[in-house]
């Protein structure tokens, strides 16, 4: 199976979007809801919430790879011999590390996006060629600690970061885009990959795809229609701040990432 657009009822005239529920009943310790179900073959996305210091144990299954994007609240991630501080806008991959769990801090609520990706037989072969550190150790980084890059479709005032380089999970890369308006991400097309956007804190932008357009606020997830000419704009004094998630249809498609130039 490759990543592919599988919802036949949608076309490039639609931009599928879902608003995350950022409120939880005080008596509810855990919340989990699929987001944009059946949008991308082999990819499952959920918004999950933990409260009351409830522990969430992390399971590792070689048939899947899992990515956690912590977007609101503070918590702790624990291994056998180390504890990591979870803060808003942190990415975490368990990779092959077992016996992990995380929990919100006392009197706090932890919101995160859990992305589970089916591993094909080709993926299982490709990952054997990746650096050992990338697959055998935890990957845990604040977005703001990740490497910056530039791109021709973005203005010099835009800050872009690669929060998940390729060569960690086959055919996947992720990053952030941050700026203050007026500004824009220029129109471009990439039929070699499926893409989700996650609106981060204070994001207030417009997304365009072919003739469609939609308001894209904070704490929403949308799916860029496959192969569409798409762009993002932000008005004066408003903030653009979102995560892009690239799911490449095949290994060759990752050549697209060469348009990202490391910032010196």
Query: Rounded CA gap, 173 and 41, in Å?
Result: 17
Q: What is the token pair recorded at 92?
A: 């975490």
In this predicted structure, what is the pLDDT of residue 6?
36
> How many Å separate Cα 34 from the centre of its chain?
14
| pLDDT given at position 4 | 47
Alpha-carbon dihedral sign for residues 132, 133, 136, 142 = negative
pLDDT of residue 11: 38
3-class DSSP state of 70: strand
Can you name the residues that pair with 212 across neighbouring β-strands?
209
Question: What one-character DSSP code corresponds to residue 201?
Answer: T
CB atoms within 10 A of CB 203: 23
Instruction: From 241, 236, 79, select the one nearest 176 (Cα to Cα).
Output: 241
**In the prediction, which pLDDT does 2 show?**
47
What is the structure's pLDDT at 53?
80
Could you read off the pLDDT tens digit of each residue along the chain, which spans 264 residues? 445 433 333 333 589 999 999 998 777 899 999 999 999 999 999 999 999 889 999 998 989 999 999 999 999 999 988 999 999 999 999 999 999 999 999 999 999 999 999 999 999 999 999 999 999 999 999 999 999 999 999 999 999 999 999 999 999 999 999 999 999 999 999 999 999 999 999 999 999 999 999 999 999 999 999 999 999 999 999 999 999 999 998 888 777 787 887 876
Residue pair 256/190 in contact (Cβ under 8 Å)? The answer is: yes
């Amino acid at each position: 199976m490759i990543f592919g657009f599988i919802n036949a009822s949608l076309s490039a005239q639609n931009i599928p979007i879902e608003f995350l529920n950022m409120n939880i009943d005080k008596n509810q310790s855990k919340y989990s809801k699929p987001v944009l179900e059946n949008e991308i073959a082999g990819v499952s996305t959920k918004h999950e919430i933990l409260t009351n210091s409830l522990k969430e144990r992390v399971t590792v299954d070689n048939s899947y790879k899992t990515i956690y994007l912590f977007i609101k609240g503070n918590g702790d991630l624990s291994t056998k011999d180390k504890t990591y501080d979870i803060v808003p806008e942190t990415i975490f991959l368990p990779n092959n590390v077992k016996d992990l769990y995380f929990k919100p801090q006392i009197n706090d609520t932890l919101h995160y996006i859990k992305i589970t990706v089916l591993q094909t037989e080709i993926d299982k072969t490709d990952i054997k060629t990746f650096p050992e550190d990338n697959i055998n150790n935890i990957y845990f980084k604040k977005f703001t600690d990740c490497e910056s890059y530039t791109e021709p479709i973005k203005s010099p005032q835009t800050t872009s970061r690669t929060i998940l380089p390729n060569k960690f999970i086959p055919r996947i890369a992720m990053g952030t885009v941050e700026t203050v308006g007026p500004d824009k991400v220029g129109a471009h097309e990439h039929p070699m990959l499926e893409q989700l956007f996650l609106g981060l804190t204070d994001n207030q932008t417009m997304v365009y795809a072919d003739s469609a357009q939609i308001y894209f606020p904070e704490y929403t997830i949308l799916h860029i229609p496959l192969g569409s000419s798409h762009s993002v704009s932000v008005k004066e004094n408003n903030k653009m701040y979102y995560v892009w998630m690239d799911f490449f249809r095949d290994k060759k498609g990752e050549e697209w990432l060469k348009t990202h130039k490391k910032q010196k």
